[in-house]
A and B are shown apart, each in its own frame.
Chain A
């Protein structure tokens, strides 16, 4: 293990602790507040203040930090570069939104609450992991299926050309 791998590990751990504290202090580890945020009749605006605080600060710091050529412990940035709006993006986000509203947990708060031994969080994180693994297996199968289909199509095309010629 290189020196910077160790340091990156420690920084990530520290970031995780800060993130957990932020989630808890802001009330985001109370699913009731999330569900109420999404239900105007019993509205709790806490989430909007959390977003305001987080994005307000990070929108500023992100652009400041990116002025650098590279991060402190690495030689390059690992930031997503895609700009296309796709069906998976929309459908996935929709499914996530539904699950989120039903229990008031998203991945971060669920993990933080898991550490308290809360049974709902334990069940939720297990199911969440299952969903993630299912997606990975599924996408592999879909990719395999597409590759096989393309292979067959190309073969058929070659055969039809040979017959015509």
Chain B
């Protein structure tokens, strides 16, 4: 009985190492955004950076390619050092991935930002627009996740 309760508790509570990892990772993201701001005078809205990169290459837009390159390079290096950081359930149904990806691409363009642009940079700037945007995508994310969760009978 006791071991069952303990196992259940361990499942529910996040380990302190995971909390630390999330805080430190978040701090690194904050530093990345600070560097972009201090040197280039720009916000780090990844959807905007990617969207603008999908145009003819210009001198003015070179920094965007640099950032995307950094994301990819950083991802590759991190994966080589600690592949467990990428170990997760991944949605594998192609139609769902295509639909979701399209919604993310279109929605971030229409809404002028994503979790990094509105959620991190916008909130740090105390932007009302970003606060509204963040609340909106969090709320709709919660609703969509609920529907998906219940459709699967309460499992991922």
Q: Which residues of A contact B68 (CB under 8 A)?
A: 16, 111
Q: Which residues of A contact B143 (CB under 8 A)?
A: 98, 101
Q: A13-B73, A71-B40 are in contact. Are A53 and B149 (CB under 8 A)?
A: no
Q: Which of B44, B101, B111 contacts A91 (CB 8 A)?
A: B111
- In contact, A96 and B22 (Cβ under 8 angstroms): no
A59 to chain B, nearest CB (A): 4
A89 to B127, CA, bound (A): 13
Q: Which of A23, A46, A115 contacts B73 (CB 8 A)?
A: A115
B136 to chain A, nearest CB (A): 4
Interface of B is mostly: helix
- In contact, B40 and A62 (Cβ under 8 angstroms): no
- In contact, A53 and B105 (Cβ under 8 angstroms): no
Q: A20-B75, A44-B14, A131-B104 are in contact. Are A12 and B137 (CB under 8 A)?
A: no
Interface size class of A (residues with CB under 8 A): 35 or more
Q: Mark B42-75, 1 if CB is under 8 A from A, else 0.
A: 1110110011001000010011111111111111
Interface of A is mostly: helix
Does A150 lie at the interface of the complex (its beta carbon under 8 Å from any beta carbon of B)?
A: no
Q: Which residues of B contact A53 (CB under 8 A)?
A: 22-27, 29-30
Does A76 lie at the interface of the complex (its beta carbon under 8 Å from any beta carbon of B)?
A: yes
Q: Which residues of A contact B121 (CB under 8 A)?
A: 58, 62
Q: Which of B73, B128, B141 contacts A16 (CB 8 A)?
A: B73
Q: Which residues of A contact B7 (CB under 8 A)?
A: none
Q: Mark B102-129, 1 if CB is under 8 A from A, else 0.
A: 1111111111111110111111111111
Within 8 A of B (CB), among A107-165: 107-108, 110-116, 118-121, 123-136
Q: Which of A29, A58, A95, A112 contacts B103 (CB 8 A)?
A: A95
- In contact, B103 and A54 (Cβ under 8 angstroms): no
- In contact, A116 and B76 (Cβ under 8 angstroms): yes
Q: Mark A51-73, 1 if CB is under 8 A from B, else 0.
A: 11111111101100110001111
- In contact, A24 and B66 (Cβ under 8 angstroms): no
Within 8 A of B (CB), among A28-60: 28-33, 35-36, 38-42, 44-47, 49-59
Does B92 lie at the interface of the complex (its beta carbon under 8 Å from any beta carbon of A)?
A: yes
B73 to chain A, nearest CB (A): 6
